[in-house]
Chain A
Amino acid sequence: MHGFSGVALAAMLAEYAQSATPRIDPTRPYAPRPTHFTPKAKRVIEIFCSGALSHVDTFDYKPELIKRHGQPLPGNERLVSFQGPNGNLTKPLWDFKPRGQCGKQVSELVPHIGELADELCFFHSLTNRSNTHGPAENFMNTGFVFDGFPSMGAWINYALGSENQNLPAFVAIEDPRGMPQSGPNNWANGFLPAAFQGTPFSSTKPIRFLERPKNITAEEDTAARSALRALETEAQSAFPGDANLAARIASYELAARMQLTVPEAASLRAEPAHIHKLYGADSDDRNRAAFAENCILARRLVERGVRFVQLFNGAYASGGRINWDGHFKLKEQYDVHGRILDQPVAGLLRDLKQRGLLEDTLVVFATEFGRMPMFQAGTYGRDHNPHGFTAWLAGAGVKGGMSYGATDEFGFSAADKVITPHDFHATILHLLGLDHEKLTFYHNGIQRRLTDVHGQVIRDILA
């Protein structure tokens, strides 16, 4: 069901002979499709911290920053960044401690995640081209700073389909506090057929129109569907072999299966108390409990074969109130956000591991950029920093307890093994058995890729 006209489909089939372009069966758009080579990961959970999580306060430990607290940043004493002039270097607002066997320094803002340091592979030298949230979020999740390009999840859905034909292949789980800054761009299909877009729902927000209208009984609904089926079969007999008509019938059948399957998959009632507790879903903090439930939902979805789950932590621009954009009272706001993020994410990782799912599930933890090692002049927070920031991977095919690349001694700018989101994307696709240069789609004059014309797989981190 995807949606090409027969014409585009024919063009696609012709191309398939020469390239690795996915071959889509219109009646089964989410049918599993072959990888380019043997994959390490079969599915992905991407945790995205919207608003720009401060790397210097979490995972990027800088003793020199602590030592030179209160002094100007050498060489950039009068730095003007996104919001204006910066003040002096400001040490991390939480203490760091060595964690796990690897001894990785992680701050007290995220102690639960810190405990799992041996599972995590940190990238400390990521850079972004934009220092503005929207475009930078676009870049991290679509490979372009501009609006209108397909999201990573859509590309992966297009490439691989799904292992479960009764659930959406790509689910975007919003933060209970609201949508991320670039909103649906993060899970858009862009110029790919609409079938590959992410389906947004969460523990607090069901799939739109999934349920039968309240004023229609089950019996009426069944009768209506069976009449519809009769009419469509009739139409099909007049157009034997018409792929679009077959696809329409299939789409109603898939919708019906989703109506049965999604509520079961999304219901956390069957989860035992100790699982709720592990994730922090028993918390009195409503936002923390809801985010924890989103994390449990993410696990339930990948367990059922959903290909790509996007899990947002942090909402839209709000002066840092409900996302990670800590410009003016970072300590106070992050103390709240950290508690919402930390235990649920750690719980998710532990749960995936104890179920063996971490073997073939890739967990991606990312944000749009980092924050300055200084406070802004006249505030108690840090400005945007696209010059160097941290993300991590865990699970399938990834070395644990590893740190790749580094920022300078203050965490201001990526200094060693500098990488871009294109490299990050190329690596994720590689783990899924996809060659990022071969996964293409023709649009307005060009064979488009998630990685544009860039991207190098970061081989050092492959297990």
Chain B
Amino acid sequence: MNYFRTILAFAFSLGALAADKTHWSFQPVKRAETATDIHPVDFFVRKKLGEKGLQLSPMADRHVLLRRVTLDLTGLPPTVKEQENFRADKRTTAKAFAMVVDRLLASPRYGERWAQHWLDVIRWAETVGFETNIERPVAWHYRDWVIAAFNRDLPYDQFIRDQLAGDMTGADAALGFLVSGPALQPGQIGRDEEAMRSARQDELDEVIRTVSQGMLGLTIGCARCHDHKFDPILQKDYYGMQAVFAGLRYGNRRLRGIENDDWTAKVPAARAKVQQLHAELEAMRKKHKLRVPLLSVQTETFKPVLVNSIRMKIAATINGRAASIYEFEAWTPEKKNVALASTGAVPSASSFALANQTRHFENLTDGSVDRRQSFPWVSASGGPAWFRIDFPKPVTLQSVTWHNGSSIPADYIIEVMRSDDVWQTVAHTMDRQPRIDDTRAPDKVKLNGLDAAQVKTLTAQISQLRAAQAELNRLSAGPQTFAASFKEPDTTWLLRRGDPMQRLEELSPSIPDMLGKLQPKDATEPARRLALARHLTRPDHPLAARVLVNRVWQKHFGAGLVDTPSDFGKMGNAPTHPQLLDWLASEFVRQGWSIKKLHRLIVTSRTYMQTNRPNAHATRIDADARLLWRYPPRRMEAEAIRDSMLFVAGKLNLKTGGRGFDFFNQRGGLSDYHPKETFEADGWRRMIYAHKIRMQAVDIFGAFDCPDAGQMKPRRTRSITPVQSLSLLNSPFANRQAGFFAERVRREAGEDPGFQVKYAFRLATSRDPNPRELAALKSLAEQHGLEQVCRVLFNTSSFLMIP
């Protein structure tokens, strides 16, 4: 599977880039002088506008400002009360507005909105992706960690450190960042060396993409392959970066914190209970003269006997699954295994299962117990089963060893056919104490010398021990979260053309040359990651702050100053306002990497507070308002639409955090996802709390460009499609919420139909309807009821747009 060459064009762009160290984004951030009497953002924006003979538009109306900033910062519209308060505020608009901004930034709703952007950037999801797409059931801690990080204004440098090295900073959940991408499951990886190496390379490739696009705004991840046409140093950069993460593993890790401390405190008592139950069980075993339980690979020894054949009759397994043995070995007194096809032994069996892989009884004698390279015999169905091995000539046996397959036998006898053609039992389970994982009903367990009551007592003791042991295991492991874990780094090689089978020289951790050097050079775990974190959080880093402030700017204005937000390289676009970008980046670092301070700075500018109305002159010169002669209005994102519908309908459930609610009939898996049609309170939580399935577009809101975490999405498309229209007009979700919305309006607005319409309009759009709007809706209400008005409001631009 040599598909690495597919990314040549990327390698090319990086080639050009590395050669060109003068590219703007690698230069130090330069803080230009600003004037004292003007907001710095406006200073730079006006300067650019002036060059084109343009100017800022007048201040927007108060109702527009309130709706804009409330949707922008929290993803929900303002309440009627908030509208009234802001309208009635006697202070200057600038002052009153600053108070609103502070209130919104302090609201927990703020983090719930802004965290989503970071999750988009790194294509975070709660399934593994690819074909099986199975669930990562405890991945949600990371989502909650990101929300909390925004809400408590975790400084961005610490945000970086925690996500790269949360094991060292005490932020285990933050390590979900590194493993946010898709990864093959062990069972999906082929059985040969090449497949295993490829899968490891793919896993690490996802990590490099996450880090380099997310934090550096560079597509380094794409220089994985190399063609001799291009500069080889580029590939070194890629594998140097890979070496930083060479110790990383996908999986669960212990989530330290209060819950963990609590569980740890309970371990001694749980262990004592296990020990006590175990001691009691051991006493029973001795009293009943039972042998110790079977192992999973069990040897049975007996008096040497000359045999032609041997057979194992399995009456039951520990859990009722079909009988299955991986390999059966028959040992001579000289310790030679004679149950081998290669020495002429011939297996047969009562049946064998048909599956995608062989479950044939030939597997019993293939001489392999390597579970990656060979297969078990499995009986075609549950219940009694047997297999038999005939030897080419009589052999003397002294013991046998069976290796468990997909089940473990609980009740069996092993017989040999002596040279006199008589079957003789050489081993059985009638005197074995059942295993702790044996879940057979007591009446199915037969033991020599024990009556039914005694068996019942014994199996009850076993099941108590099983439960106690499970509890001990759970407490000892501690609470788990899906996040990166680390061991000593593997050796990292430069790979010829990205082919994992063609290793060239060994590489130590590094970052691309133009960005500097990692110190110390020969670091191992966790020092490699800490070195990268130190590098990225240098106050003078040319990319880290620029990339972040641009992401924030993009969400405030709909487009970034650089409109390729995860690509600040040569293939990306240059900034529209380079001086502004640099000034913001420098101010951001100066203000302690505080994202909330950055928001406040941006949204209190006149640039942000100006009207959204177009004017013909400016439209001719700069139709898309990239120079910001007006505030660019735009459609809300999928999450904001859904959350706002629930909010307006009075049904939004503000429960925060925890396991996500479901949009589908299942939380992961191969296929056959069916969208849920109706939701109750748990499904009325904010959409960021929905369980995120990779590669499954969410019903209704997927059509509004809600990404499916298949690819990193630093910037959403904003489609307008008929499927959206059908969904908002006709879906049960939209209509049910429209019904709730109407009920709420009747409840809160009183009897007057005119006022009902007005009130509904205010809830949905944060303003009063003009006479024509009011007339249209009033007549609809009179003839067809308030529900239709509410249904229509959910479909209007006034509701769906950030004005």
**A residues lining the B interface (CB < 8 Å):** 1-11, 26, 29, 80, 82-85, 129-135, 144-145, 147-149, 168, 178-185, 188, 190-191, 193-195, 199, 207-213, 215-216, 219-220, 223-225, 227-228, 230-232, 234-235, 238-242, 244-245, 247-248, 250-252, 254-255, 258-259, 315-317, 319, 325, 327-329, 376-380, 444-447, 452-454
CA of A238 to CA of B2 in the docked complex: distance in angstroms?
56
> Which B residues touch A131, using CB under 8 A?
1, 190
Indicate which residue in A210, A224, A453 contacts B792 across the interface (CB closer than 8 Å). Answer: A224
> Which B residues touch A444, using CB under 8 A?
213, 219, 564, 566-567, 711-712, 714
Query: Distance (Å) between the CB of B629 and the closest chain A CB?
Result: 13
CA of A380 to CA of B356 in the docked complex: distance in angstroms?
10
Total contacting residues, chain B, CB less than 8 A: 105
What 10 A-B pairs are tightest by C-beta distance, nearest first?
A: A378-B358, A378-B360, A148-B710, A134-B131, A3-B719, A316-B671, A148-B711, A1-B720, A194-B719, A255-B725
**Is the Cβ of B363 less than 8 Å from the Cβ of A319?**
no
B634 beta carbon closer than 8 Å to chain A: yes
> Which B residues touch A194, using CB under 8 A?
702-705, 717, 719, 721, 723
**Is the Cβ of B730 less than 8 Å from the Cβ of A209?**
yes
CA of A425 to CA of B381 in the docked complex: distance in angstroms?
46
| 25 A-B pairs (CB sep. < 8 Å) | A3-B717, A80-B191, A134-B131, A135-B130, A144-B6, A147-B130, A147-B711, A148-B708, A179-B671, A185-B710, A195-B721, A207-B726, A216-B735, A228-B792, A235-B797, A248-B720, A255-B726, A258-B726, A317-B131, A317-B670, A327-B355, A378-B357, A378-B358, A378-B362, A445-B222
Say whether, besides A130-B1, A134-B131, A446-B9, A184 and B696 are in contact (CB < 8 Å).
yes
Say whether, besides A209-B726, A445-B569, A190 and B710 are in contact (CB < 8 Å).
yes
B727 beta carbon closer than 8 Å to chain A: yes
Which applies to chain B's interface (DSSP): helix, strand, loop or mixed?
loop
CA of A240 to CA of B615 in the docked complex: distance in angstroms?
9
The A-contacting residues of B in range 550-606, CB under 8 angstroms, are 558-559, 563-564, 566-567, 569, 571-572
> Which A residues touch B356, using CB under 8 A?
83, 319, 325, 327-328, 379
Query: Distance (Å) between the CB of B193 and the closest chain A CB?
Result: 12
Say whether, besides A1-B720, A179-B671, A209-B727, A231 and B10 are in contact (CB < 8 Å).
no
Indicate which residue in B699, B719, B770, B789 contacts A195 across the interface (CB closer than 8 Å). Answer: B719
Say whether, besides A83-B356, A84-B357, A7 and B626 are in contact (CB < 8 Å).
yes
> Which B residues touch A247, using CB under 8 A?
720
> Which A residues touch B418, using CB under 8 A?
none
B13 beta carbon closer than 8 Å to chain A: yes
**Is the Cβ of A181 less than 8 Å from the Cβ of B797?**
no
CA of A446 to CA of B8 in the docked complex: distance in angstroms?
10
CA of A195 to CA of B703 in the docked complex: distance in angstroms?
8
Indicate which residue in A231, A238, A250, A377 contacts B358 across the interface (CB closer than 8 Å). Answer: A377
> Which A residues touch B564, using CB under 8 A?
444-445
**Is the Cβ of B614 less than 8 Å from the Cβ of A241?**
yes
Say whether, besides A213-B732, A220-B784, A445-B572, A84 and B191 are in contact (CB < 8 Å).
yes
CA of A10 to CA of B624 in the docked complex: distance in angstroms?
8
Say whether, besides A224-B784, A231-B798, A129 and B624 are in contact (CB < 8 Å).
no
**Is the Cβ of B671 less than 8 Å from the Cβ of A378?**
no
Q: Across the interface, name the chain B residue whose C-beta is closest to A326.
A: B356
Of the listed stretches B172-180, B261-269, B479-487, B772-780, chain A binds: B772-780
CA of A445 to CA of B563 in the docked complex: distance in angstroms?
11
**Is the Cβ of B352 less than 8 Å from the Cβ of A378?**
yes
B623 beta carbon closer than 8 Å to chain A: yes
B351 beta carbon closer than 8 Å to chain A: no
Q: Across the interface, name the chain B residue whose C-beta is closest to A258.
A: B722
Indicate which residue in A133, A193, A255 contacts B131 across the interface (CB closer than 8 Å). Answer: A133
> Which B residues touch A11, using CB under 8 A?
563
B107 beta carbon closer than 8 Å to chain A: no
**Is the Cβ of A328 less than 8 Å from the Cβ of B730?**
no
Per-position contact with A for B777-789: 1 when CB-CB < 8 Å, else 0? 1011001110011
